[in-house]
Every structure is written in structure tokens, then in C-alpha cells.
Structure 1
């Protein structure tokens, strides 16, 4: 599971990239970046393809509202409460999404934020990462 497994052309937001071979158990997706100076929100999603219409199935979405600090992993009505708020305007961050059984584990700056149980059983179908909102991406892997 090296950085060479994932090919990303340019790190421009909004961003959409292909995860080579899709997600599998033990695979980790890394997003490093810097929050904008006056941010409202951003989202990092792992999806089954990049279709917009109809929208691709979302395996996990990390949605961050910075005006009213709260973070959630969303799937329909499910939201995960978090123990602390790790995102600070104009500061760097490191998000790792680790695929385990039976859930994704989300870490921010090395601290576990929450677990998110798989809603898509065919993990290899999860092959796209989408990032949008008020942030800059410095590294993906």
C-alpha cells in the first residue's frame, strides 16, 4: 500500500481522483492540506465512481462545517459524534481513512476521530475520492 497505488494528476479543489484497484481491507487513503483562512465547510468523500447524474454511491463522507464547528460521517441519517474538533482555519491537517472490517476508521493528525461502518460491501467498487470546499490539498496518497 504505497503512494504509487494512487494516481492523482493535479491537487486542485474541487478535486476528483481515481483510486487504483479500489478500496480493500488494510488500504489507507491519506489527505493532507491546509484549511482556508475564512472557511465555511469542506467534504472528503469516497465514492463508487465519479458519476454526477445520477450521483455516485457514497461509501463514506467526512463533512466539516467550520462556521459552526461540527464534523460528521454521513450515510443517510447516520452521523458520528466526535470527541473534539480538529480543524483550525489557516492550519494544516492530515486525514487518514483506513479500511478495516467492519468499518472505516478516520484519523485526524494521528488521533482517531470516529469509525464508520461499511454500507457498500464490494469494497473494490469504491474507486473515487472527491474533495471540495474551503481547503487546499498539499498531498494525497
Structure 2
């Protein structure tokens, strides 16, 4: 994956996952939540050019609802949303380090070193997932 350093006021980032997603791979997003955020999304795309194709996982943070929704899209159809989280970790003005750890059966989402949630893989084989996209109210410091 290519690395973008110091991306002030990023509204959209798309980075290729070279060779596709695979077990033991870790994707790291370091950023800051601006003041007055509405939402942001971290998405694992199957096609970095056409975002309407299959989605391995969309992780959407909604600040007004203090919710985090996960889902996937296969053959143009969204699956069942997952919303259970033990706590809402994002605070306006704060920095965060999010890690997406790809395991054989699931993606483990860690925030500042603490496990936040898991998302069972719905796209198979995993290497069909080829890009990381970040959109919305977040200022990225580093993506690796």
C-alpha cells in the first residue's frame, strides 16, 4: 500500500492494497477528528476506480448518533448492518490511530490499541479487496 504523509484536510483518500487484502495484513489510519464533525467512512473497496462495485467493508462513524456502522456490498446489494460497539471512541478535536487487522475469518478493528469491533469477511476470496478509501470529516496524518 502506498503511504501518504501529512494530508491536511483530506476529504477523500484512496490507496491501493497491492496484491489485495490477505490474512495478517494490517492497515493503519492515523488522523484527527475536526471540530464539529458529522461523519466519516473507512471503506475497503474491490475496485479503486468504481466505488459502485463490491465493498468488502464500510466502517461509518456518525457523530450525531454516536454510532459506528459496518456493512458490505456484494453484487450491488448491501448486507445486514452491524452496529454493536462497546463504546464510542471518537471525540471532536482528538487524534486517533485506527488499525484494521485482517484475520482469516474477520477484520479486527483496533482504536488506539484497544479492540473496538470485528467484522466477519463477506467477500471471498479476500484478495478481491484492492483499495482503502477514506472520506468525510477527518484530517489524515498517515495511512499505511
- What TM-score do the two structures reach when normalised by structure 2? 0.87
Deviations 1:6-63 (A, max 9, x none): 214574321111111211110010001000111000000011112337x121111110
1:15 to 13, 16, 20: 13
Out of 59, 62, 65, the position equivalent to 1:62 is: 59
Give 5+ residue unaligned stretches, structure 2: 73-78
- Alignment check: 8 A CA contact 1:44 1:63 kept: yes
1:79 maps to 2:76: no
Unmatched segments (≥5 aa) in structure 1: 1-5
CA distance in 2, matches of 1:115, 1:7: 25
Match of 1:136 among 133, 136, 139: 139
Q: Give the TM-score normalised by structure 1.
A: 0.89
Q: Could you list the per-position Cα deviations for residues 81-136 of structure 1 after superposition, in whole angstroms to 9, with x for gaps in the alignment?
A: 00000000010011111110211111111111111011111111211011000010
Count, aligned residues: 135
SS at 1:112's partner residue? Answer: strand
Displaced runs of 4 or more, over 2 A: 8-13
